[in-house]
């Protein structure tokens, strides 16, 4: 029986990727190169510092660690500024409805995100109270595709990994869920997320019946 659902944040519950992109693009421009939307795909689900390393590699820029810290902080300040005005209207289709169905069915809900801004975002969009556990970038030491973020979620909810279903939009997140021994439903394109057990375009397609399968 399914006892818990674990949700990725960015790309599943909200589309913050566009704000991450704007902030990274601004940083790239400042460093003197361009950063395309296609490049940005590589940053989905990836931690802040790993994202910066990918960005610098694309721009062919090498920097010392202290400088990197400074740039990562700067990007985050811009990002936080961009998401200040986020509200309920940013919640992706079907999310609130599906979370409500889970609550009614007594299925536990956890967040499994790489973002250190996750709690703030959930609060802004008014969904924080729906979560029984929140595991985010401040709790983990190993980034997806490592299963740590999802295993900590199962632990916090006191359920077995095999009793959890993960919702993920990133390839690295799908791999993390598989490694955790969890059933995984991809949110996005079937081609990209072909390793997932099932794929939906958005949570609007989710029903308790589909979950039970
Ligand atoms: P922050 P998720 C991830 O969130 C994003 O997909 C990824 O693009 C971002 O770099 C990462 O969070 C870290 O975010 O800089 O806010 O700590 O998809 O795991 O919910
Ligand atoms: Mg994501």
The pLDDT of residue 144 is 92
**What pLDDT is stored for residue 42 in this prediction?**
87
| Residue 187 near residue 7 (C-beta atoms within 8 A) | no
Distance between the two ends of the chain, CA-based, in angstroms? Answer: 10
Q: How far is CA 78 from the centre of its chain?
A: 19
Predicted confidence at residue 44, as pLDDT, reads: 87
Quote the pTM value. 0.94
**Is 9 labeled as ligand-binding?**
yes
The reported pLDDT for the residue numbered 199 is: 98
In the numeric block, the tokens 């062919």 are attached to 60
DSSP 133-168: EEE-TTT-SS-TTSTHHHHHHHHHHT--GGGEEEEE
CA–CA gap between residue 53 and residue 64 (Å, rounded): 11
Q: What's the ipTM?
A: 0.92
Q: 113 near 136, Cβ under 8 Å? A: yes
- From the CA of 117, the nearest ligand is 1
Q: Is 43 annotated as a binding residue?
A: yes
The ligand 1 atom nearest the CA atom of 117: 16
Q: Is 43 in the pocket of ligand 1 (CB under 6 A)?
A: yes
Please list the active-site residues: 8, 10
Q: What is the pLDDT of residue 69?
A: 98
Work out which ligand 1 atom sits closest to the CA atom of 11: 18
Indicate the pairing of strand 108-112 with strand 164-168: unpaired
The stretches in the chain having pLDDT less than 70 are none
């Amino acid at each position: 029986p399914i006892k818990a659902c674990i949700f990725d944040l960015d790309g599943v519950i909200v589309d913050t990727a566009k704000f991450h992109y704007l902030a990274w693009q601004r940083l790239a421009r400042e460093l003197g190169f361009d950063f395309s939307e296609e490049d940005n795909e590589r940053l989905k689900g990836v931690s802040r510092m790993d994202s910066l390393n990918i960005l610098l590699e694309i721009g062919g820029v090498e920097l010392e660690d202290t400088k990197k810290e400074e740039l990562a902080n700067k990007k985050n300040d811009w990002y936080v500024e961009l998401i200040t005005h986020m509200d309920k209207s940013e919640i992706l289709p079907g999310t609130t409805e599906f979370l409500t169905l889970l609550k009614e069915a007594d299925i536990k809900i956890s967040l499994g995100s790489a973002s250190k801004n996750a709690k703030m975002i959930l609060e802004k969009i008014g969904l924080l109270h729906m979560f029984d556990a929140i595991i985010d970038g401040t709790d983990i030491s190993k980034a997806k595709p490592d299963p740590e973020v999802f295993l900590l979620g199962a632990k916090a909810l006191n359920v077995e990994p095999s009793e959890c279903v993960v919702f993920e939009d990133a390839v690295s997140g799908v791999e993390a869920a598989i490694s955790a021994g969890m059933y995984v439903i991809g949110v996005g394109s079937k081609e990209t997320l072909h390793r997932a057990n099932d794929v939906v375009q958005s949570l609007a397609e989710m029903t308790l019946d589909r979950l039970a399968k």
